[in-house]
Amino acid sequence: MSERVLKRTVCAAGLALLAVVSTPIAGARERTAVEILEAADAVRNPPGSFSVKTQLTEYRQGKQSANSTLTVFAKPNSGNGQYRNLIRFVAPARDTGKLMLRNGMDLWFYDPVNRASVRISPQQRLLGQASNGDVMTTRLARDYEASLAGRESVKDGEGAQRDTLRLKLVAQREDVAYARVDYWVDAVNDRPVMARYYTAEERLLKTAYFRKYQEAMGTLRPIETVIIDGLDSSWVTVMQTTGHTPREIPDEWLQRDYLPRFAAD
């Protein structure tokens, strides 16, 4: 075998090996930031309509300062895929039976004491430090434009080091709670790890850790979110979700004029 033939054979073998090695990489193309965000949304949100019990416990300097319990009923909107939410206040006693209904920019607050439905703005807070968006079920991929900002190793809410993808989210709608979000998603299983929420002026509003993953409606989901204020790190709200239950939510439940009749637990 001449030297030239030998060189050709080696080159051909090298190219073939390169082709074999590179073929799986080309087949499993890089996922887009939107796809990663959608996968993370699917971890946080069960599929279809469901209800979940949410407990909000607020702390100042480590001392509990407020506590409330809610039941959230969520149903995907057949039009844009975003969730419509109905929240029933369970505790404290002074708030029992109050309701909050949200369909995008359309928010209503109902007080059974005076049978009044009052329209409120998306910025109006009824839940303390937690924003409406923190408590209600939302698909971030519907409201934010996502881009991949890099791969980082971060400490999660339980102290473990995690390999994550950092997504940069920019709001596409004005009714969302935060203008911009940095969102860390586990690089292995798409589980949300933490998020930082900013104003349009790039001021840090709060940091959230998604933790205590447990089985809920078919997969592991974070049942606890620790929300830390951006200015005062001793101001903390812990949001716990339990009792995820798939349920039929009729469209009439999500009407303002149905609120005085709402009686589901």
Partner 1 sequence: MLWSSMLQRSSLRLHHALLLAAWGLSSHAAAQTAAPADAPAFDPLALQVQPAEAGTRIGLRMEAWAQGVDLRDGASASDDVLGRAVLDFRREWRLGESLRAGFSDRMEAVEGNGDAADRQRNALRELYLNWQATPSWYLDAGRINLRQGVALGYNPTDWLRENAVVMRSSQNPAALRENRLGAVMLRAQAVDARGSAQLALIPQLSDEDTSGSRFDDQFWSLGLERTNRHRAAFLRISPRTGERVVGDLTAFARAGDAPQLGSNLSYTASDSLILQMEWSGGRRAALPAAGQAQGGTGWFNRLAVGGSWTSPVGLVLTLEHHYAGDALNEADWNAWRAVQGSGARALGELRRGVTERQDLLVRHYWFGRAAWDRAFGVEPLELSAFVRRNAYDHSSMLQVEGTWHVSDRLDVSAMFNRMIGSDSSEFGASPVRSALAVYLRWFL
Interface contacts to partner 1, rule CB under 8 A: 55, 57-62, 65-67, 69, 91-94, 96, 103-107, 112-116, 118-126, 128, 157-159, 174-176, 209, 211, 224, 226, 228, 231-236, 238, 240, 250-252, 255-258, 261, 263
Least separation in angstroms between residue 228's CB and partner 1 is 5
| Residue closer to partner 1 (CB basis): 36 or 176 | 176
Residue with smaller CB distance to partner 1, 40 or 227: 227
Question: What's the min distance (Å) between Cβ of 34 and partner 1?
Answer: 23
**∠ CA(84), CA(86), CA(92), 5° rounding?**
150
Q: Rounded to an integer, what distance in angstroms lies between the CA atom of residue 180 and that of residue 198?
A: 5
Q: From the CB of 255, what's the least distance to partner 1, in Å?
A: 6
Nearer to partner 1, 118 or 188 (CB): 118
Element (H, E) at 36: helix 33-44
The distance from CA 62 to its chain's CA centroid, rounded to whole angstroms, is 25
CB 185, min distance to partner 1, A:
19
Six-digit token pair at 110?
């109902």
Nearest-approach distance from CB 62 to partner 1, in angstroms: 6
- Give the residue with the Cβ less far from partner 1, 36 or 138: 138
Rounded CA-CA distance 152/186 in Å is: 10
Would you say 183 or 262 has its CB closer to partner 1?
262
Q: Torsions phi, psi of 160, nearest 5?
A: -90, 145
CB of 207 to partner 1, least distance (A): 9
Q: Structure tokens of 157?
A: 């809410």
Reference 167, options 144, 201, 199; nearest CA is: 144
In angstroms, the Cα distances linking 145 to 87, 106, 182 are 27, 22, 12
81 and 162 Cβ atoms separated by less than 8 Å: no
For partner 1, the closer CB: 47 or 92: 92
The torsion of the CA quartet 11, 17, 18, 22, rounded to 10 degrees, works out to: 160
With respect to partner 1, which residue has the nearer C-beta, 116 or 220?
116
Answer for the pair 109, 120: CB distance below 8 angstroms, yes or no: yes
Least distance to partner 1, CB of residue 138, Å = 14
